[in-house]
Amino acid sequence: MSATPDAPLLAIEDLHVTFSTRRGLVEAVRGVSFSVAAGETLGVVGESGSGKSVTAFAVTRLLDASGRVSQGRIRFAGEDITAASSKQLRRLHGAAISMIFQNPRGALNPIRTVGQQIADAIMAHESISAGEGRARALELLKAVLIRDPEKRLDAYPHELSGGMCQRVMIAMAIACAPKLLIADEPTTGLDVTTQKTVMDLLARITAERGMAMILITHDLGLASRYCQRVCVMEQGKVVEEAQPLSLFSAPQHPYTKRLVAASPTATSTIADLAPEALSPSTVSLSPHPEEAAPAAVSKDGSVVSQPPGASFETKPAASPQDEGSAKKPAPGTPLLLEVQNLVKRYDRGVVAVNDVSFTIRAGESLGLVGESGSGKSTISRLVCRLIDASEGEILFDGQAIGTLPARDFHRSPLRKDIQIVFQDPTDSLNPRFNAFDCIAHPLRRLLNMKDGAALTARVSECAERAGLPSGLLERFPHQLSGGQKARVGIARAIACRPRLLILDEPTAALDVSVQAVILQLLDRLRREDDLALLFVSHDLNVVRMMCERTVVMQNGAIVEQGESLALFAAPQTDYARTLLEAVLHLGGPTVR
Amino acid sequence: MSILRNAGLVAALLASTALPALAQTRAETLRHVTGAAINTLDPNIPGSTREAFGLSLLTYDRLLSFGKKQLDGKWVFDLDTFKPELAESYTVSPDGLKITFKLRKDAKFHDGTPVTAEDVKWSLDRAVTANVLGKGQLLTGSLTSPDQFKVVDAHTFEVTLPKPDKLALANLAVVYPVIFNSKLAKSKATAEDPWALAWLKENTAGSGAYIIESYKPGETTILRRNPDWNRGSAEKPAAFKRIITQTIPEAATRANLVEKGDADIAIDLQATDAADLEKKGKLKVISTPQYNAITFVSFNNQMPPFDKIEVRKAIAAALPYEDMFKAALFGRGAPLYGATWADGQAPTGATFPIPQPVKTDLVEAKKLLTAAGFPDGFSTTFSFNVGQAGTAEPMAALLKEALAKIGIKVDIQKLPDAQMSTLINEKKLPFFTEGIVAWLPSMDYFYRNFYIGPIRWNYSSLNDAQITEWAQAARFEPDAAKYAALGKKLNTRHFELMPQIPLWQPSQDAVMAPSVEGYVYQFHRQIDFRDLSRK
Amino acid sequence: MTSSTLRHTVWILRGNPVTAIAAAGAFILCLLAIIGPWIVPFDPIASDVANALQPPSAKYWAGTDQLGRDVFSRLIVATRLDLAIAASAVSLSFVLGAVVGALCGYTGGRLDRYVGRFVDVLMAFPLFVLAMAMVAALGNRVENIVIATAIINLPFYIRFARAEVNVRRNAGWVEAARASGDSHVSVVLRFLLPNVLPAMAVQVSLNLGWAILNAAGLSFIGLGVSAPTPEWGIMVAEGARFISTGKWWLVAFPGLALMLTVLCFNLLGDGLRDILDPRMRT
Amino acid sequence: MSQLSTTAKRAGWRFASSLPALFGVLVFTFLLMRVLPGDPAVFFASGPTAGKEEIEMIRKQMGLDKPVPEQLLRYLGDIGSGNLGRSLTTGQPVLADLQSRLPASLELTFSALLIALLTAIPLGVAAALRQGSWIDHVVRFICALGVCVPTFVSGLLLIYAFYYLLGLAPDPTGRVDIFTSLPPRLTGFLLIDFALAGDWEGWRAAAAQLVLPAMTMALFVVAPLARITRAAMLASLGSDFVRTARSLGLPPAKVIVTYALRNALLPVLTIAGIVFSTMLGANVLVEKVFSWPGVASYALDALLSSDYAPVQGFVLLMASIFVVVNLTVDVLYGIADPRVSVE
């Protein structure tokens, strides 16, 4: 069968994908239909567990051994490839449909030069000599704008940066001029600036070569900027499909509405993100089928759990700013934390933090932004006294706390005053403690509380304040969803009523909707307890919402610091400007 | 750098092991397998193994060798008759103080040099002077000083003794006083090493029936027949053109090799294999009780509770001799238990060991133990060495079981060989089993070497004035009857004191291809390949 | 063990009959080790030379040995000693190795370097010869066999624990524990060790079989447990002497016992790994 | 080029850093030997009047009359000058003994490792490709079976079956049939020497002798190698880059061999190195059972007779080989895995 001119390039009809797991069959994709026209860029947006990647892998039939297409049809160029043999598929792969993956470095063979790998991709479909393969690989590297392509040809993936690896991946994917490119979270894990250049490259190449692209992403901003059409997926289904502009300005489906609201924009405030989360008893949004009981989500729970009367549109844009100014500590408030000329050197002369000074007043929130490797995480650990500084002074409440080595800081009376919430909620909970013990642990250690009613009450209280239903306290980390784990981490950090809370990318590993409620939770806790926050993040929008003042770091040093609003409105340094420009906003112009 | 250079030298030394012409047929070659290693070419070097002794009698000649006799239908060496080897004849003066040897005039060393009295003198001087094993052995035959050895002329040699000594001639027939090519040896001697110990350890300078063709310690030794050698029984060279001795540590493998016909002869098989091969009847199995050896259970007579004679006798009455003999040796050997002595006196004194009147009698054992003051028994350890585990382990298990019946609790201790020797030497083992061998198995020789004085071989640490006195007296007693009378007293006294419980004389099971003939059990418990031929 | 872990285990065992059989086998072995001496048909030590070297029969299921002892009874009774040797050797090296390795893995630095050197030295030894030398030096008693086996095992446990702890030392929950007021030592002992123990348990199970073989090897060269105590290694070593004369039961049955036991523990170790780390298999 | 030089630098550093370990081995062995309760002098004093004098004489000859620290210093000095002492059991200098026996051990171990790798890798790959199928279970079972038979038992049984009963194997009496003339010794590896001499009959004879002991040894190490191959293969089959290769339509053979297997072989290489050095030292029993004139059985005999020098020499040799093997693995790894040189 040959393709008729106006038939879509790829058409998916009622696709079902099931996985056999130890709990029986789990349907990850439940009747998805969409199509992509030749040359079109389609965005597939959804949170983790929405089935967006599974759909992509089902199209290319690269599912794990345990997954299979149980129902539906996939047509490519008019041809039904649902039941294609592996031989047929191999002819399609690379030549007609290519994929680009998340984590570009892992997607490349670590012990083969990139030149060879690109040549492999070509030679899988064309019989050419090794020399020709090399020449073609060089051309492709030039096409993806890699600097020094001749040199890179013989480089191994580990010698390239993440962005360069993704360019190589793109080169491989387009090597045999496929008609369709499926990009699965192609920029996740890359720094914002790199993210932008890679996406720009992809957009340009697909346009130039007339290739269709399916962009799979969790990032609404990304989809809105680069796609002509966007499908929103939730729980294995497409809930809404529209032009980006109309989708983001006027979402129709409740889930889409919530998602749009939860995505921070240049102007959104904490309160905008997820109004229902303001009620502390709300169980976290848990769209992941593995994380919550299937019964609860099966009846489209997200809508149900929304408190009546709360609507997204009615959120006034001005109120958070009032709140923001209200929470701003008075000028006379004493300094809680003073960091003076902090330096952290590692072996072999690596300087992670170079002469950094900043202050935080009691109850104030300071944002620390920067790309990976800027030293922001090191600072959070230095301030938390988990590691020792090489030079410099940290004053807490006027007391120099750097004198007691980190090794012994657990004995300091100030230990309970400085607490921290970590980036990865899974990684930050001891797999062998249940939620109760996780929260009770600092109480036992730092406040010497003994097991008993008082401890139980205190733990329940903390859990409740963190929005964790007490019914979950008996559960172990692997039985909790990402959002719930984050709440346990927060409950633990506030258990001893610290005065300074360090938040090290507290929401980086969370879906946007979960991020929204967590951010709101943190903001509320802060106001209730008059907590000072050191908020470390790479997400500029989040920092702008959460912090009065912001410090921008690059390569271990402070580039710029100041009032958040002022800084974001008019950055003084080039670096800050670049960072800000790279931020993608919903409803921005679509690149095409 | 120096390591490298040394390595290169060694490699060069070892490089030349290829066998040249394999013209000889398999029939003219004798392949011998053994579990142990030959560690020196000079039997005098301290630490020489039995296999090294065996080899030396093939590469070297002595003045004399032992004759042979039949014992229960099997050929064994005879301590009392001698065959001339390098000596053509010898005469002993009537007073027994002078022995004159006439040397063969046609005897030549491997390099063609004729053998002269000078060579004999140098070799015997070396044996009694240098720091070698011969020194200790030869003094048991009153050979102690170079002054005793005199060159009369090129082919006449004289040995003078301070006292007539029955073992003087026998001592000249053991492995130590082999005759070296003195000219060659002296040329290799140095100021620090006047007796060329170092050189002779790795080289031969002999006149023996075989010449070393290749020598890989611990692996293989290949011997080539010396065509000029004519000291054998029929005045002609040895029968086999080539002897291959290979070290095969696993006894079961040795048995397989012999059974499959890949090896021609082995003498150190396990009793069970020998019994099995004998039963199958395909091979010739010559089992000779080692009449110059004893396996015993020994006490340390100085160490409580074994210092009490009743304890020793109680144990002697408790041992399950029959079961031990069957389980450990499969009955292959000559028992030394279960005799009946008419009047409590030893029936003979001319020889040692003789069967003892011990038998299993638990009632008696219990009685003796009570008499000794141990009505409830006691605890002790019983040791044996790893090398003998094959026979000692079952034996020890039976012993433990039997002694438990009379209340003695025994812990069995299996010791690595070196450790066992050390503990024995330091007299620290209370209760153990060992085996002894006398090259020159005369009655007084046994008593003098194994039951007197603070020496290593006095296993039981026996210190009895009468035994000492009678044994010394027997040594120089020329009269056979008086000698036997002393022996009878010694044997009786020995039994009464019960310093050790002699168990048996294990058989040496020589298993060989049916075509191999002429096997004789030798004093050093090795095969004298010069005796052998193929049908 | 929580009920969900139990359920998970049952699920694994159902899907993995080999592991289930191995677990049953290990259970039977332990049972035999406990009740063995009371259920055997004959006294394993009592000799009966008249009935020596009988082939297997209805009376003597596995034949008799050189002293007429019933091989079957000896095999059963030996279970206790063999398991005890293996278990104590392995647990000794396990406990020491886990603590030392965990401390090294966590602290790094000087301690890690010194211990690392020590481990290097041990690893550079030909291990079996080292065990031989140690048993020879200390005397061949059961406790020395245990010590020697434990020492030659030690490097693996130290390295294993070190590596396992090392990958977790920067985990968020470790830093969280420190922020919650735990000292380094308490982090290692109360947080890290419990987390690496399951993975090490797999190692233990695999190692048990190896320890039994090691003891058997020592017996073979005469450095094992002393007679007449029944022990599989010695029985195999003694039986090996009779291979050439066709008395197969003396080596076959103890060999089989040794084999089945080691097999059991190896398969169980594999299975444990499945239970603890489902990613290793489907 | 730069990769090679960094690899070389790394290897050099590794070598230098392994020297203290070697020294530790040296001293530790020395002390352990002195702790052995057996007095070699007594053991080797075998004359009929082996009294105190003779024993003292041997002690003096062996230098055992000196205090232990002095003995140690002398020993270290000797080693520095390439003198490893003399074996009392064979009467030869230890260096010469080791020199003549090492090739035998190496040849055996190499062959065994080769057999093991040639068996284990296909088995491991097959098990990984058909994960969870009966092939996987059978492989797993075979592997488990291999590790649970003591080598001395499997060795004896192989001899009994293949030599005694079936007569297929030559007599287990060492490296080559005694009636085969040896080739000129160039490398000490008989297979190589025979090949160099062009004596193919001799080569076959030597190879025939090698098969049984090598198989016995291989049997024992197939399991760890197959297991690691399977695990590594599973990991690399499940890796992102294999998925990438599949998504680009690369032929299955190329995906499995060039992408999955080559990466999976890296950990196998490391394990093979460890296995090799362990085998070399640990297969005392195989050498003993097959009368193989190797270094391990030599050390065993020496140990049982408290013959210090060979044991010390042997341990030093093994430790050095361990270091060399580690270095080789490092270098190979550095060549095979470009990532290593950066760390």
Query: Of the segments A203-207, A480-484, C164-168, which one has the largest average pLDDT value?
Result: A203-207
CA distance B94 to B88: 20
- The answer to whether the CB of C128 falls within 8 A of the CB of C186 is no
Say which DSSP state D258 is in: I
A532-587 residue pLDDT tens: 999 998 888 888 888 989 999 988 899 998 888 888 888 889 888 888 887 766 65
Partner residue opposite D259 with nearest CB, options A93, A109, A172: A109
Give yes or no for a cis peptide into A244 (omega within 30° of 0).
no
Q: Which two tokens stand for residue B55?
A: 């080899």
Q: Are residues A224 and A298 in the same domain?
A: no
Does the pLDDT of residue B509 top 90, yes or no? yes
What is the tens place of the pLDDT at every residue in C206-263? Answer: 788 888 888 888 887 778 777 678 888 888 878 877 877 778 888 888 888 888 888 8
Asked whether residue A350 falls in the same domain as residue A248, the answer is no
SS3 per-residue string spanning C97-119: HHHHHHHHHHHCHHHHHHHHHHH
Q: Tell me the pLDDT tens digit for each residue of B70-94.
A: 988 899 999 889 988 899 899 999 9
**Rama region for D328: left / alpha / beta (φ>0; ψ in -120 to 50; rest):** alpha
Q: What is the pLDDT of residues A450-502, one digit of tens each?
A: 888 899 999 998 998 888 888 888 888 888 888 888 889 999 998 988 999 99
Select the residue of C4, C173, C178 nearest A430 (Cβ to Cβ).
C173
The yes-or-no verdict on residue A202 having pLDDT over 80 is: yes
What is the pLDDT at residue B184?
94
pLDDT for position B315: 94
What pLDDT is stored for residue C192 in this prediction?
A: 87
Domain match, A364 and A485 both: yes
> Which residues have a Cβ under 8 Å from the Cβ of D149 and sit 6 or more positions away?
C255, C258, C259, D219, D220
> Smallest Cβ distance to B323: which of C47, C136, C244?
C47
Asked if residue A301 and residue A243 are part of one domain, the reply reads no
Residue A416 predicted with pLDDT over 90 = no
Specify the range with the lowest mean pLDDT, choosing from B201-210, C220-229, D262-271. Answer: C220-229
* Domain assignment of residue A483, given as a range: 293-305+336-582
Is the previous residue joined to B305 through a cis bond, with omega within 30 degrees of 0?
yes
Beta strands in D280-341 (DSSP E): none
Helix (H) / strand (E) containing D236:
helix D200-237
Residue B98 has pLDDT above 90, yes or no: yes
Q: Name chain A contacts of C184, Cβ cutoff 8 Å.
A: 407
Q: Would you say residue A374 has pLDDT above 50?
A: yes
Q: Return phi, psi of residue A238, to 5°.
A: -85, 120
Q: Which helix (H) or strand (E) holds D141?
A: helix D134-147
Same domain, A300 and A436: yes
Helix residue ranges, H only, D238-294: 240-247, 252-254, 262-282, 284-289
Give pairs for A251-254: CB < 8 Å, separation 24+: A254/A300, A254/A302, A254/A303, A254/A306
Task: State percent of chain A over pLDDT 70.
Answer: 87
Confidence of residue A516 (pLDDT cuts 50, 70, 90): confident
What's the whole-number mean pLDDT along residues B276-298?
A: 92
Q: Identify the H or E element spanning D16.
A: helix D2-35
User: For the CA atoms of chain A, what is the radius of gyration?
Assistant: 25
| Within-domain flag for A319 | no
- Examine the domain organization and report whether A227 and A354 are in the same domain: no
Q: B178 with B132: CB under 8 angstroms? A: no
Q: Give percent of chain D with pLDDT exceeding 70.
A: 94
Does the structure show a pLDDT above 90 at D201?
no
Q: Are residues A167 and A254 in the same domain?
A: yes
Q: Which of C213, C249, C282 to mutate against chain D (most D CBs within 10 Å)?
A: C213
Q: By percentage, how much of chain B surpasses pLDDT 70?
A: 95
- The answer to whether B362 contacts chain C (CB < 8 Å) is no
Residue A169, pLDDT above cutoff 60: yes
Rounded to a whole number of angstroms, the distance from the CA of D340 to the nearest CA of chain A is 10
Structural contact between residues D263 and D236, judged by C-beta atoms closer than 8 angstroms: yes
Residue A280 domain flag: no
- How many angstroms separate the CA atoms of D12 and D115, rounded? 31
pLDDT at residue number D45? 64
Pairing of strands A67-76, A41-46: unpaired
Residue spans per domain, chain D: 2-37+84-342
Q: Which of A430, A478, A505 to mutate to test the interface with C (most CBs of C within 10 A)?
A: A430
Mark residue A75 as left, alpha or beta (left: phi above 0; alpha: psi -120 to 50; beta: remaining): beta
H/E stretch holding A14 reads strand A10-21
Give me the pLDDT at residue A22, please: 66
Which residue in the set C125, C137, C210 is minimally distant from D35, CB to CB?
C137
Predicted confidence band at B310 (pLDDT cuts at 50, 70, 90)?
A: very high
Beta bridge partners of B295: B435, B504
* Of C221 and D235, more confident: D235
pLDDT the model gives residue B3? 39
Token pair recorded at residue A364: 């104030």
Average pLDDT over every residue of A125-145: 91
- Partner-chain contact C221 D288, CB within 8 Å: yes
Q: Which chain C residues have any C-beta within 8 angstroms of a chain B C-beta? A: 45-47, 49, 52, 66-68, 136, 139-140, 221-223, 226-228, 238, 240-247
Average pLDDT of the residues of chain C: 83
Contacts of D178 in chain B (CB under 8 A): 31, 220, 244, 246
- Dihedral Cα B484, B490, B493, B495, nearest 10 deg: -90
Specify whether the CB–CB gap between A374 and A429 falls below 8 A.
no
What pLDDT is stored for residue A552 in this prediction? 92
For residue D49, the model assigns a pLDDT of 53
Tell me which residues of chain D, numbers 187 to 246, contact chain A at a CB-CB cutoff of 8 Å.
239-241, 243-246
SS3 track for C51-68: HCCCCCCCCCCCCECCCC
Predicted confidence at residue A315, as pLDDT, reads 34
Tally of structural domains, chain A: 2
* D1 vs A: CB within 8 A: no
pLDDT, one tens digit per residue, over C97-146 is: 988 988 888 887 788 888 888 888 888 888 888 888 888 888 778 888 89
As a three-state string, the secondary structure of A444-491 is: HHHCCCCCCHHHHHHHHHHHHHCCCCHHHCCCCHHHCCHHHHHHHHHH
A328: CB partners within 8 A, 6+ apart: A364, A548
Q: Is the pLDDT of residue A234 over 80?
A: yes
What is the CATH number for C76?
A: 1.10.3720.10
* Interface membership of D4 toward A (CB under 8 Å): no
Q: What is the mean pLDDT of residues C192-214?
A: 81
Residues in C closer than 8 angstroms to B400, CB to CB, are: 228
Are D289 and D214 spatial neighbours (Cβ–Cβ below 8 Å)?
no
Q: What local confidence, expressed as pLDDT, does residue A168 receive?
A: 92
pLDDT band at D24; cut points 50, 70, 90: confident
Structure tokens at A148: 């020094």
Q: Are strands A351-361 and A399-400 parallel, antiparallel or unpaired?
A: unpaired
Average pLDDT of span A45-54:
86
* Backbone φ/ψ region at D317: left (φ over 0), alpha (ψ -120 to 50), beta: alpha
| Angle of CA points A551, A553, A558, to nearest 5° | 75
- CB count within 10 Å of CB D17 equals 13
- Which two tokens mark A491? 């409950």
Report CA Rg, chain D: 24
Average pLDDT, chain A: 82
The confidence score (pLDDT) of residue A590 equals 54
**Residue/partner pairs of D331-337 with CB below 8 Å, 24 or more apart:** D331/D7, D331/D8, D331/D11, D332/D269, D333/D266, D333/D269, D333/D270, D334/D3, D334/D6, D334/D7, D334/D10, D334/D11, D335/D3, D335/D4, D335/D7, D336/A111, D336/D262, D336/D265, D336/D266, D336/D269, D337/A110, D337/A111, D337/D266
**Rounded distance, CA A67 to CA C273, Å?**
24
3-state helix, strand, coil in chain D (%, to 5): 75, 0, 25
Instruction: Write out the H or E segment, with its range, that includes residue B289.
Output: strand B284-289
Domain check: are A60 and A118 in the same one?
Answer: yes
Class (C level, CATH) for D2-37+84-342: mainly alpha
**pLDDT value of residue A141:** 92
Q: Which amino acid is at A357?
A: S
- Residues above pLDDT 90, as percent of chain A: 21
Q: Which domain holds residue C223?
A: 3-280
Burial class (CB in 10 A: 0-12, 13-18, 19+), C185: exposed
Does an interface of 3+ CB pairs under 8 Å exist between A and B? no
Predicted ipTM of the assembly: 0.78
- Which pLDDT score is estimated for B17? 41
What's the pLDDT tens digit per position in D292-329? 888 888 888 888 777 888 888 888 888 888 888 888 88
- We report the CATH number of the domain holding residue A129 as 3.40.50.300
